Structure 1
Amino acid sequence: MRRAALLLAAFLAAGPARAVQPNEVLPDPALEHRAREISAGLRCLVCQNQSIDDSDAPLAKDLRVLVRDRLKAGDTNQQAEDFIVRRYGEFVLLRPVFGLHTLLLWATPLLAVLLGGFGIWRLARRRAPAPERGLSPAEEAEVAALLKRD
């Protein structure tokens, strides 16, 4: 039991694996922290669902080095990110920008929720039992006449 607990603790303490190689790490901790912030928001163009910080792909390594080179050259975080976006397109961003050309992308979840709610509302209205109504006086007279014949 103790062995299983130690194994679980070691597994949880390991944390996420990073693909950044030791030779890529900048000597200045503040600059390295900035590089990690930028690269966490950039998509690996090979893996597509990983940041370049998490990817072992050679292109991701090139992008990490490029970000660090831009920071060493004196770029701000935004300037370094803009350079990568100009070079590779907006697809490189893990979180797409909010603009007119991405409005459908951002609005789709809201539209799906609204359409789903409308569908559920329509379904609930359709399945509601119709209110019972009594017989009209003419129908009551007809029923009474039919019952008297027997």
Structure 2
Amino acid sequence: MRKSPAFAVLRGLHAEEARRAASKHAARLGLVCLLAFASTPAFAVNPGEQLADPALEARARDLGAELRCMVCQNQSIDDSDAPLAKDLRLLVRERVKAGDSDEAVLDFLVARYGDFVLLRPRFRLETLLLWGFAPFLLVAGLLGYAVWAFRARRAGRSLDGLTDDEQARLEALLAREAEASRPS
């Protein structure tokens, strides 16, 4: 068990040793704090990009949180430092400043970049097929394969198409051929 620097002084250790122990504890604490702060998300919106009107800036931030950085792909444009994300942030702020509604700004960007620009894609027939039916088709296909494999083994066939009898005869033939090819 480690002792605190104050305990070291009480034990009669030299003051210099106590200071070194305290310095080690401080360095460890500093490292832990640095790692904790480094793991928090960095917001990439620069002060020069922000709108003067707080209401419009709030709208632009809300829109930016819904838009995907096309470079980083799993970050919003407000969280990304990529140059394309900066361009998109400026474009969103221009459109908001020009008086476009939130829906109009999103429609403009979807028309330009496709649905992929949205972090939460809109509900359409394509998304219904992708997220609604594809998982069930995949599970049904896997279950069908499992049933087929189970029935094949139960019927005495191996999965490569040979019955157990055929497999035994093949192994016997191969064994006889190996014996015949061995030098006497």
TM-score bracket for this pair, using the shorter chain length: 0.5 to 0.7
Q: TM-score, structure 1 length as denominator?
A: 0.65
SS of 2:109's equivalent?
A: helix
Alpha-carbon offset, residue 49 of structure 1: 2.0
Alpha-carbon spacing, 1:12–1:76, altered in 2? closer, same or farther (3 Å): farther
What is the alpha-carbon distance in structure 2 between the residues aligned to residue 2 and residue 95 of structure 1?
44
The answer for the alignment partner of 1:4 in structure 2 is 28
Q: State whether residues 67 and 80 of structure 1, in contact with CA within 8 Å, keep that contact through their aligned partners in structure 2.
A: yes
Alpha-carbon spacing, 1:115–1:6, altered in 2? closer, same or farther (3 Å): farther
The answer for the alignment partner of 1:43 in structure 2 is 68
Q: TM-score, structure 2 length as denominator?
A: 0.55
Q: In structure 1, what residue type is equivalent to 2:88?
A: L
Match status 1:74 vs 2:99: yes
- The two structures, once aligned, show a CA RMSD in angstroms of 3.1
Match status 1:24 vs 2:63: no
Q: What are the ranges of 5 or more consecutive residues in structure 1 without an aligned counterpart?
A: 127-150
Alpha-carbon offset, residue 61 of structure 1: 0.9
Alpha-carbon offset, residue 10 of structure 1: 5.2
Alpha-carbon spacing, 1:89–1:4, altered in 2? closer, same or farther (3 Å): same
Q: In structure 2, what residue type is equivalent to 1:52?
A: I
Alpha-carbon spacing, 1:114–1:17, altered in 2? closer, same or farther (3 Å): farther
Greater RCO (Cα-Cα under 8 Å, separation 6 or more): 1
SS of 1:104's equivalent?
A: helix
**Aligned residue among 91, 114, 120 for 2:116:** 91
For residues 38-70 of structure 1, the C-alpha deviation after alignment (integer angstroms, 9 at most, x for no partner) is 111111122222211122222111110000001
Identity of aligned residues (%): 60
